[in-house]
Structure 1
């Protein structure tokens, strides 16, 4: 009897459980004379669903392939605690004539699936209720659930038994000042967009490390997310705002908002960053502005056709006026999409118009200005020399690529010679009889094959020649490249220059350092190094 063993444990605290289950199942198989073909397992994975477990998926695949006749597990709950999943799994096994057996219950039948499936599902529900009850009790004792909250640092402490104490937080004074600035600005009447622009101008990183956006500040009303809705800032923890449901088809957990009357509020005055009056005033303003926006939306829904047309015409007039005030089309600079932080090896992003920053929090490459970067990038481009280009074409990778083309050319030349010889042999042998339809068809096929090989040969020759330019060709290309750089210094936004030059660069690596000996206000030093696309440089201007 060929058998497969399956084992699973749910949490990291049960790391030895899987090995224990396998050992017990192996003993069971040996006692009954089964031959164990393969062992499948899922470690640290919940039994609530089969859809997110690679071990059980592989078991099902191998089962349908007919590799074994029996599946052995320690207990039915190891396979799944979901009533629907275990019933479907049992049906598939029954269809394939595979026996399901557990060490605890023996051979599994429909009665086991119904009773044990129900008991396992009830166990999951009871476990979820107890877990949520424990979380609520923990919140009411003053701990903060969840992950990182902007304005606070996670405090890592351990109890006497060495277990981590979860939920401890401490105020991050630097971020707390930003939170106060946001709430004060909103209370003074500034728009969300203007607040984000101010923060991005100052180079203050958002909670995610990038630019500030409106949703970062105001979040979702139904879920009470966003910095302006975070009650922890006034010293109150809000818990139980969400509950999770498993999607029946994908098995993924989806968050669903709970009604506000089910939320759990617990005071933590030591973590208050704002005055409660300021926080409550901002909530009132959010509701008022949201209500005003809803009224505008509702008003537009009941507008007649003429009113909608008039509003659209006014919007068009405003747009045309703006276009007259800003007639120039946006031009991408030569470094657009090519800036990289040398320290963190990530792309430098646009903060706002002509200001750039590394998305990594705390990086020195912040608030980099267009006027500062442009001359440095041109200086970096001017560092390219003819020796650098020749060294690239002499590199092992390029030499190997040339060798591949040489090999291909030799092979294609041999094939062309063979087909021409065949063509000549047919014409010589048949003579006047070569004019028959069947022979003519063979000759046409040979001629077409020779033409195809000739085109392929020419393509390899062009590519091979491009990989070994002469020194004169390199110096001519470099001269054209440097001439365009001189023009770029005078006209840095001319797209006739920025587009071809930008194609010659793979990336600009930016490094910012502090020079303590320099005068105050000039201590920051920005360095830029270019990585070139050498074949594009040699093609420029051709």
Structure 2
């Protein structure tokens, strides 16, 4: 009989003091043969035989070996190794499959390389080869990694085929029952067990789960949801609000949301059908929405909770609401609303039941201001304010850069102030930059407002006034804080002449005056 190859410890572990090691264990499910306790027992026995002191354990219980992101234990281990201060010289793992079943074999090798580069060896205690970096070791590891990955692929295919078969038999595959439904486990002998509550799992792996109608009060609420949507034309958000107001219970105990209502209105389980494989996430690679030809369906598993005709009407209503509306028709709606109220605001749009929400107008036209412009309507003040936000940001940035260049060019010390839009000159004078929009309020004259109270410690406020169209900087004012007790200065054409001593033709001219003041 061929003799089993001896397992060797890397030479680095045999030199100096008693070597120390960390343990990494992983288990995907509680039903696996290689349980965490079994792995720890074998690794501890290995460490005792080779004189290794185990000082730390990293574990991923109930975690798949397919990807790195869902394994906090392995992530923590790699972070400790990369920190350069890991107190152990090696990592003990049960075998290569416990390290991971990565579908990309290079990914598994990469994490091992990170450890080896940091001077931390990895020992696979149950493998029949020495992980010493030799050519033979590398070949065997590659084969073992491929076998571990292939095992996951084969298992995935077998499990998927079995799940499809069970769906065709009328059994539900995972997930919650949903409002108005209950999950009933069925034993291998065909005996029904008590209904499963929220978060409960079947007691035996051979049990199968059937969906059955829930309590009559939930069924009544369910039919009311469809009536609200189809007959009364309520939106999903409005229905969620009504359900929360009447304290309709959800299976999970949480409040109703728009998404919850959408699921009730679109899921065919409410007419007795089970649909499986609408989306897939095989081997944790990426989420894919499958075409209808790939769906696994079983029709009429249990009596419909909602009349089939009502369910189909709900789907038609949903399709109608989601159908794209021509832009010209949307613009005509805005003009009609303006004729009715003499103005158009997002509030008026949302309050009108005959119009889509203001969000849809913004989606189709980019912004509400663009929608008003194309419809030939005057924009609201809030739209003007939002539209000038980018201009204000650009003017502020240009002003900051220009002031920095002027002050530094004059040899004056410049530091960033204690808060936004402030500069400290010569370590003692605090200057604040304020950008003022041109405001139009009803029949009042154009005005510019400069706030003085945002920085109580500032010595000067440099106000940059935008032009009448709020497109560019128009004039500059330098206000000494000591001259103004008000928290806000309002400039209009009527009082600008009284404030002319603070006005400067340009930043260059202001800098000269400001520089003399700060001396």
**Secondary structure, aligned partner of 1:87:** helix
Relative to structure 1, the CA distance from residue 18 to residue 54 in structure 2 (aligned partners, 3 Å threshold; closer, same or farther) is same
Map 1:282-361 onto structure 2 (within 5 A). 282-291=314-323, 294-296=324-326, 300=330, 310=335, 313=338, 317=343, 319=345
Unaligned runs of 5+ in 2: 1-12, 14-18, 192-202, 352-519
Distance 1:245 1:313, change over 3 A: farther
What is the rounded CA distance, in whole Å, between the counterparts of 1:288 and 1:322 in structure 2? 23
Alignment of 1:6 with 2:24, yes or no, is yes
Do 2:184 and 2:211's aligned partners in 1 also have CA atoms closer than 8 Å?
A: yes
**For 1:192 and 1:148, how far apart are their aligned partners in 2?**
24
Aligned partners of 1:40, 1:197: CA distance in 2, in Å?
A: 46
For the residues of structure 2 that align with 1:195 and 1:31, how far apart are their CA atoms?
67
Matches within 5 A, 1:142-161: 142-145=170-173, 146-156=175-185, 158-159=187-188
Question: Could you tell me whether the CA contact under 8 Å between 2:65 and 2:101 is conserved in 1?
Answer: yes
Q: Report Cα offsets for 1:189-219 as digits up to 9, x if no partner.
A: 523256455545544345665654443333x
For the pair 1:188 / 2:208, whether they are aligned, the reply is no
Partner of 1:57: 75
Question: Retained in 1: the 8 A contact 2:23–2:56?
Answer: yes
Secondary structure of the corresponding residue to residue 270 of structure 1: coil
Q: Which residue of 2 is the match for residue 264 of structure 1?
A: 296
| Residues 1:296 and 1:245: Cα distance change in structure 2 (over 3 Å) | farther
Larger deviation, residues 162-171 vs 307-316:
307-316
Paired position in structure 2 for 1:167? 209
1:191-230 correspondence runs (5 A): 191-192=234-235, 195-196=239-240, 198-200=242-244, 202-205=246-249, 209=253, 212-218=256-262, 226-230=263-267
Superposed CA deviations along residues 168-198 of structure 1, whole A, max 9, x for unmatched, are: 2221122112222222343335232564555
RMSD: 3.6
Match of 1:242 in 2: 279
Contact 2:230 2:313 in 1 (8 A): yes
Q: Report deviation, 1:34.
A: 3.7
Q: Distance in 2 between matches of 1:111 and 1:198?
A: 65
Any conservation in 2 of the 1:228–1:282 contact (CA below 8 Å)?
yes
Task: Tell whether the 8 Å contact from 1:50 to 1:85 is kept in structure 2 after alignment.
Answer: no
Distance in 1, Cα, partners of 2:333 & 2:312: 37
Is the contact between residue 244 and residue 255 of structure 2 (CA under 8 Å) also seen in structure 1?
yes
How far 1:74 sits from its partner (Å)?
Answer: 2.0
The runs of 5 or more residues in structure 1 that have no matched partner are 219-225, 248-252, 326-542
* Equivalent residue, structure 1, for 2:130: 107
Aligned residues: 305
Deviation at 1:17, TM superposition (A): 1.8
Counterparts in 2 of 1:480-495, with a 5 A limit? none
Query: What's the CA shift for 1:231?
Result: 0.4
Distance 1:62 1:212, change over 3 A: closer
Q: CA deviation at 1:55?
A: 2.8
- With normalisation by structure 2, the TM-score equals 0.51
Partner of 1:74: 94
User: Equivalents in 2 of 1:46, 1:217: separation in Å?
Assistant: 33
Question: Which is further off, 269-278 or 257-266?
Answer: 269-278
Q: Deviations over 1:109-157 (max 9, x none)?
A: 4334433323322222222222222221111111123213111122245
Question: RCO greater where, 1 or 2, for CA within 8 Å and sep 6 or more?
Answer: 1
SS in 2 for 1:129: helix
More helix by share: 1
Structure 2 match to 1:86: 108
Aligned to 2:487: none
CA distance in 1, matches of 2:235, 2:41: 61
Residue 25 of structure 2 is aligned to residue 25 of structure 1: no
**What secondary structure sits across from 1:13 in the alignment?**
coil
Cα distance between partner residues in 1 of 2:347 and 2:275:
48
Q: After superposition, give the CA deviation of every residue in 1:220-249 in whole Å (9 maximum; x if it has no partner).
A: xxxxxx1111101111101111112678xx
Which residue does 2:388 correspond to in 1?
none
Contact kept, 8 Å, 2:68 with 2:74, in 1: the verdict is: yes
The residue that corresponds to 1:176 in the other structure is: 219
Answering whether residue 68 of structure 2 is matched by residue 40 of structure 1, we say no
